[in-house]
Amino acid sequence: MSNREARQHALEVLTAFELEPTSLVTYHSAGKIIALGDDELLDKCNDLPTSLDITRVSSDSGEVRAEGYLGAYTVSVTDSQGNVTANRADALLDLNQTPVLKREMLPPGYLHAPPTEWERLALVDELENLAGEFEKPKYFDYDPSICAHGVNGKIVCSKCIDACPAEAIVSLGERIEVNPNLCQGGGTCTTVCPSGAIRYLYPNLRDSGKRLRDTLDAYREQGGSQPIVAFHGENISPDHYLQAYDNVLPIEVEELGSVGMDLCLSALAYGAMQVALLADEELPRSSLLNLRQQLDWLHAVISELGLGSAHVAICQAGAALPGVDSDKIVPAAILDMPPLKRNAIFQSLDHLVAELRPEAALVKLPDTAPFGEVAIDAQKCTLCMACVGACPGRALQDGSNREVPEVFFIESNCLQCGACVMTCPEDAVSLAPRMLFDREKRNRARALNRDTPFACIACGKPFAPTSVIQKMQDKLKDHYMFGSQRALDRLKMCDDCRVADIVQDPDAMGGQFDPSKGFRQ
């Protein structure tokens, strides 16, 4: 059977795949419209049908602020005296040449239509169709328990907020909030999230992986060879590639920005010779920049595996695909796609490493990559465990329950978010982005720093790391409260013995303590 016949069978399998449903976001609109512009522009509304329910808001009256989404728009105007007038409606018709909302993904119910660009009938149809009840999928899920946004009152990671082309994500201190009414499924937040706290829901990662694997399996089963997976948004037609290449398998996604390192690496592990991300001018610039960053990390990894960067490439829609070495196709992995992004990346990486057998044990990654190791300077570290308490991925762990003060590290859990660096009071922690190819080493806990426990000089009970006691002695030896040797020695005592010694030390209590009466007034 030819590649084209095999592809036809594979595309039938792809089309028949049923995605797990997600919940819906509902908009209710009565069709009330705010027209926004200066007085001259607003006069153009006289050309629109009187059946439309339009409230005119003039930008000549003061400073304008607009926010909201279909069914819940607010346009506020602040005059020169500071008085605010708020207007509410279901939709917003922006008549200004320069749009009031400058987001790359605009909210539903917002129409930027300067009168100079009106195509009257089309505009009227759009305005009349704004009334009613509308639904769209809820595209995301958020797990705050693994979010690295904020730790101990400090903002650590804001990648999703910075990347969202719809400006649907805001900070709530140590967590974030995604407005489902503003979210348009751009997916960039899920690709840049280092922990997987934000997940794409429609389709979810497990469905995306199974659909990808089933399509490639069906192609091979029918005798197809050298498959190329081409991810593209719904606005791009794959017809050019279907005609130009007999081995291209086009897979439509809601938004190209949702295709990250997890899906690209998994496509190679499932037996694709090449992965092409078809981009056009409608792809938000922020999504394109973040896709390129994902590929920077990915190219570093697959290059060490012996694959060129052309094996995963962003291509302008309609342009020829870059050539690749067809001898580098690996036997297809049979494992299901895990539901979590990092697990999916590691699973596909482990398969490719087993098949391609790289000589190197690891590869260094760009500074922005969410994989790598943590190093601790033992000369500075006091094993205070502040880094452990701050680590959102539980990559750093307290090993002191083994009776020896220790900090342990699990590299596969490390997000390279920098929370440990920001939290360490001794400036003893540093990061090194990289990818370990050895799965066992990547998942195994190893000690980064350890110390001998210091024994109380009064009772002999271990109670603190030796380095902590030594540093306390050095820092406090000249303090007036530790002017005597006895006072300084109390730093070498456990809590119980320290209190007992203070009570018995006449210099410490200043003669003001009677065990039978307590403190004297």
Q: What is the pLDDT of residues 365-407, one digit of tens each?
A: 999 999 999 999 998 998 989 999 999 999 999 987 666 789 9
SS3 294: helix
Question: At residue 126, what are phi and psi to the nearest 5 degrees?
Answer: -65, -45
- Can you give the pLDDT at residue 320? 96
Residue 288 lies in a domain: yes
Q: Are 172 and 155 in contact (CB under 8 A)?
A: no
> What pTM, to 2 d.p., does this model score?
0.86
Residue after which a domain boundary falls, among 450, 472, 487: 450
Do 104 and 193 lie in one domain? The reply is: no
Clarify whether residues 314 and 432 are in a common domain.
no
Q: Which two tokens stand for residue 107?
A: 């909210």
**317 in the same domain as 263:** yes
**Residue position matching structure tokens 């926004």:** 36
CB 315 within 8 A of CB 334: no
Domain assignment of residue 466, given as a range = 455-519
Q: 505 or 444: which carries more pLDDT confidence? A: 444
Flag whether 275 is in a domain: yes
475: Cβ contacts below 8 Å, ≥ 6 apart: none
pLDDT at 514 over 80: no
What pLDDT does 152 receive? 87
Q: In this structure, are 223 and 194 located in the same domain?
A: no
SS (H, E, C) 137-203: ECCEEECHHHCCCEECCEECCCHHHHHCCCCCEEEECCEEEECCCCCCCCCHHHHHCCCCCEEEECC
The reply to whether 219 and 351 lie within a common domain is: yes
**pLDDT 10s digits, 277-321:** 999 999 999 999 999 999 999 999 999 999 999 999 999 999 999
Per-residue pLDDT at 401? 66
CB atoms within 10 A of CB 46: 7
Number of domains in the chain: 5
Is the model more confident about 519 or about 102?
102
- Listed range (26-40, 83-97, 491-505) with the worst mean pLDDT: 491-505
Q: What is the pLDDT of residue 405?
A: 85
CA within 13 Å, CB half, 375 = 7
- Domain closes at, from 450, 484, 499: 450
DSSP tally for the chain: helices H, then strands E = 17, 29
Confidence of residue 519 (pLDDT cuts 50, 70, 90): very low
Query: What pLDDT score was predicted for residue 515?
Result: 47
Least confident of 20-29, 228-237, 471-480: 471-480
Instruction: Identify the pLDDT of residue 450.
Output: 87
How many percent of the chain have pLDDT more than 70?
A: 96
pLDDT of amino acid 92: 98
pLDDT of residue 505: 84
Same-domain pairing of 54 and 71 = yes
- Over pLDDT 90: what percentage of the chain? 81
The rounded mean pLDDT for the chain is 92
Q: What is the CATH number of the domain that holds 164?
A: 3.30.70.20
Of residues 209 and 326, more confidence is placed in: 209
Range with lowest mean pLDDT among 303-312, 414-423, 432-441, 507-516: 507-516
Strand, coil or helix: 27: strand
Same domain, 388 and 252: no
432 lies in the same domain as 500: no
